[in-house]
């Protein structure tokens, strides 16, 4: 029989790793809560049309990376490759951005793209995304960047990340630029890599993003988008830079930064690191003022970003920034010997949970010898063992033994256990 395996590029998150996931997810959720952002939860599956109309027909994602299938009614559905489209769809469907009401929301969850799996690049991966609506000025662009900067500090990643910043201007600016860029590149068509040749017709700005060294060299003397920005776009970008300067957030200008999705304009940014090899972008976003209207709503300024959870976790691990306390998931392990002690053990454990609600207490289940229970107590990482035999149970006493330091077991009365543990933990 064929052994069953997870789908290529899709990972299980196992018990040994989940504490780190929870730590990261909690850190982000808490931070966003403090900035006044509220969570939204969208379906993982959306109509294929949504992604075609938002991300763009000639992007890598829509052209070749989507998990698209017909459901039993014959409707074309797609596993979401990113969160912005579904978030905008939800905002529109529920009228949350109508009347110019501003929204600041975030979401977390798996995204799906049929890419070549490698370190930091998977077919199911997780993002935390943040989106804001109906705030037009550079202040909100700045806030999004500043809050991620704070997050990097909290996670101990600041030294390892760089903020890359660019402005894509208005769609008119890009159209004028595109025409000149295409002229420039067409005159050098034979020197372009194959992907760039193909993109020249469909999505020429993406050529800027090419990883091919020869193409990059060719782009040195190409027209620069920055020279095509209208006055308003320039003012927006300067406003953003002034705010980042004021907040002390360092950045580098990257005139080639264009992003892989069609809906961006004005501000685009990426947080990159040189510690993860080729998969160096850990967080990316920008302004997408045209998208809500493109999906059938009223013109609505919008800006957001998404961070890649797997890449951030890799970075945290690479830099040795996993908090030491994560190794320790259990405070106390209760060992019981004998049928009377098992009964008493549950009584004791539940009474401890009543008075110490944060106590991480594992009650041994499954019987076994004293020795084997002790092995499990040790392996659990618990700092203390509580030991209950038949005699202690009858006397409402229990043995308390430190597992991580030398120290004798001492017998104490049940009613003294909470106070003792409070002192010790
Ligand atoms: P890349 O250039 O690395 O392919 P992208 O521009 O396609 O990234 P976005 O769509 O902007 O990525 O997604 C935001 C973030 O999600 C990325 O910066 C990255 O951290 C993460 N991400 C994107 N694709 C993957 C993937 N296949 N596996 C793991 N993380 C991913
Ligand atoms: Mg990509």
Q: Are 285 and 304 in contact (CB under 8 A)?
A: yes
Find all residues with CB under 8 Å of 220, minimum gap 6, and list them. Answer: none
In a domain, 213, yes or no: no
In a domain, 390, yes or no: yes
Q: Are 97 and 50 in contact (CB under 8 A)?
A: no
By most ligand atoms within 8 Å of CB, the mutation choice from 124, 127, 278 for ligand 1 is 127
Same domain, 313 and 346: no
Same domain, 379 and 251: no
Find all residues with CB under 8 Å of 396, minimum gap 6, and list them. Answer: 344, 413, 414, 415
Q: Which atom of ligand 1 is nearest to the CA of 307?
A: 15
Q: Measured between alpha carbons, how far is residue 375 from residues 8, 367, 378, 385 in Å?
A: 37, 13, 5, 11
| Chain segment 28-83, per-residue pLDDT in tens | 999 999 999 999 999 999 999 999 999 988 888 998 999 999 999 999 999 999 99
Q: How many domains does the chain have?
A: 2
- C-alpha span between 233 and 148 (Å, rounded): 23
In a domain, 224, yes or no: no
How far, in Å, from the CA of 260 to the mean position of ligand 2? 7
Beta strands in 327-396 (DSSP E): 332-336, 361-363, 384-388
| Residue with CA at minimum distance from ligand 1 atom 25 | 121
Q: What is the mean pLDDT of the chain?
A: 96
- Pocket residues for ligand 1 (CB within 6 Å)? 82, 113, 115, 120-122, 125, 127, 260, 279, 281-284, 306, 308, 310-311
- C-alpha span between 380 and 277 (Å, rounded): 35
Q: Measured between alpha carbons, how far is residue 271 from residues 145, 234, 284, 400 in Å?
A: 9, 22, 6, 49
Q: Which atom of ligand 1 is nearest to the CA of 306?
A: 14
| Chain segment 365-405, per-residue pLDDT in tens | 999 999 999 999 999 999 999 999 999 999 999 999 999 99
Query: Residue 328 pLDDT > 80, yes or no?
Result: yes
Residue with tokens 């920005």: 229
In a domain, 269, yes or no: yes
Q: Are 160 and 271 in contact (CB under 8 A)?
A: no
- Of 293, 318, 343, which residue constitutes the final position of a domain? 318
CATH number at residue 378: 3.40.50.800
- C-alpha span between 169 and 236 (Å, rounded): 9
| Residue with CA at minimum distance from ligand 1 atom 2 | 281
Average pLDDT of the residues in 336-364: 97
| Residue with CA at minimum distance from ligand 1 atom 11 | 284
Q: What is the pLDDT of residue 209?
A: 85
**Of 124-133, 200-209, 276-285, which range is least confident?**
200-209
SS (H, E, C) 25-78: HHHHHHHHHHCCCEECCCCCEEEHHHHHHHHCCCCHHHHHHCEEEECCCCCEEE
Q: Which atom of ligand 1 is nearest to the CA of 311?
A: 20
- C-alpha span between 107 and 32 (Å, rounded): 10
| Residue with CA at minimum distance from ligand 1 atom 12 | 284
| Chain segment 146-201, per-residue pLDDT in tens | 999 999 999 999 999 999 999 999 999 999 999 999 999 999 999 999 989 998 98
- Of 318, 342, 367, which residue constitutes the final position of a domain? 318
Q: Which atom of ligand 1 is nearest to the CA of 312?
A: 20
384-388, strands of its sheet edge to edge: 361-363, 332-336, 384-388, 397-402, 410-413
- Of 300, 318, 336, which residue constitutes the final position of a domain? 318
Same domain, 140 and 107: yes
Same domain, 397 and 252: no
Q: What is the pLDDT of residue 157?
A: 98
Same domain, 120 and 68: yes
Q: What is the pLDDT of residue 163?
A: 98
Give burial (CB, 10 Å; 0-12/13-18/19+) of 366. Answer: exposed
Average pLDDT of the residues in 12-38: 97
Q: What is the pLDDT of residue 173?
A: 94
301: confidence class by pLDDT, cuts 50, 70, 90? very high
Same domain, 368 and 395: yes
Q: Which atom of ligand 1 is nearest to the CA of 259?
A: 6
Q: What is the pLDDT of residue 187?
A: 95
How far, in Å, from the CA of 272 to the mean position of ligand 1? 11
Q: What is the pLDDT of residue 112?
A: 98
Q: What is the pLDDT of residue 58?
A: 81
- C-alpha span between 52 and 385 (Å, rounded): 58
Average pLDDT of the residues in 416-424: 96
Q: What is the pLDDT of residue 60?
A: 86
Residues of the domain holding 383: 328-424
Reading the block at residue 237, the tokens are 């970008």
21 vs 407 pLDDT, higher one:
21
In a domain, 217, yes or no: no
| Chain segment 262-292, per-residue pLDDT in tens | 788 999 999 999 999 999 999 999 999 999 9
How large a percentage of the chain has pLDDT more than 70? 100
Closest-approaching ligand to the CA atom of 115:
1
Same domain, 419 and 284: no
Same domain, 116 and 80: yes
Closest-approaching ligand to the CA atom of 270:
1
CATH number at residue 109: 3.30.930.10
Q: Are 253 and 165 in contact (CB under 8 A)?
A: yes
**Of 19-28, 50-59, 230-239, 308-317, which range is least confident?**
50-59
Same domain, 128 and 259: yes
Q: Measured between alpha carbons, how far is residue 166 from residues 56, 145, 253, 287, 390 in Å?
A: 21, 13, 6, 11, 71
Q: What is the pLDDT of residue 415?
A: 96
Same domain, 162 and 29: yes
Q: Which atom of ligand 1 is nearest to the CA of 60?
A: 7
Same domain, 43 and 152: yes
């Amino acid at each position: 029989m064929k052994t069953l395996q997870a789908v290529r590029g899709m990972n299980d998150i196992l018990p040994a790793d989940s504490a780190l996931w929870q730590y990261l997810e909690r850190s982000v959720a808490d931070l966003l809560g403090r900035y006044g952002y509220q969570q939204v939860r969208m379906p993982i599956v959306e109509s294929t049309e949504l992604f075609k109309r938002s991300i763009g027909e000639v992007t890598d994602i829509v052209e070749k990376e989507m998990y698209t299938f017909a459901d039993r009614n014959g409707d074309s559905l797609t596993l979401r490759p990113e969160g912005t489209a579904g978030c905008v769809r939800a905002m529109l469907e529920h009228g949350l951005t109508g009347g110019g009401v501003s929204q600041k929301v975030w979401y977390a969850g798996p995204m799906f793209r049929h890419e070549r799996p490698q370190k930091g690049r998977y077919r199911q991966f997780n993002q935390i995304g943040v989106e804001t609506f109906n705030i037009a000025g550079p202040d909100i662009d700045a806030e999004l960047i500043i809050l991620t900067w704070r997050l990097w500090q909290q996670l101990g990643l600041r030294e390892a990340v760089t903020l890359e910043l660019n402005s894509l201007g208005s769609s008119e600016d890009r159209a004028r630029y595109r025409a000149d860029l295409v002229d420039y590149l067409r005159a050098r068509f034979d020197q372009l890599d194959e992907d760039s040749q193909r993109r020249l017709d469909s999505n020429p700005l993406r050529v800027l993003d090419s990883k091919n060294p020869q193409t990059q060299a060719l782009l040195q003397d190409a027209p620069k988008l920055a020279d095509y920005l209208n006055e308003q776009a320039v003012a927006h970008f300067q406003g953003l830079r002034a705010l980042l300067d004021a907040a002390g957030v360092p950045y580098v200008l990257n005139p080639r930064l264009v992003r892989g999705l069609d809906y961006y304009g004005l501000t685009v940014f990426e947080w990159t690191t040189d510690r993860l090899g080729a998969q160096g972008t850990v967080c990316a976003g920008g302004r997408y003022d045209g998208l809500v209207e493109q999906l059938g709503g009223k013109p609505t300024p919008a800006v957001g970003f998404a961070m890649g959870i797997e890449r951030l976790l890799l970075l945290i691990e690479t830099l040795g920034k996993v908090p030491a306390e994560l190794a320790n998931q259990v405070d106390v392990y209760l060992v019981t010997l004998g049928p009377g002690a098992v009964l008493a053990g549950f009584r004791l454990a539940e009474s401890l949970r009543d008075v110490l609600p944060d106590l991480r207490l594992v009650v041994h289940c499954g019987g076994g010898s004293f020795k084997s229970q002790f092995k499990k107590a040790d392996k659990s990482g618990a700092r203390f063992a509580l030991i209950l035999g038949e005699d202690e149970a009858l006397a409402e006493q229990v043995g308390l033994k430190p597992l991580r330091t030398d120290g004798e077991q001492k017998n104490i009365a049940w009613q003294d256990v909470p106070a003792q543990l409070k002192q010790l933990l």
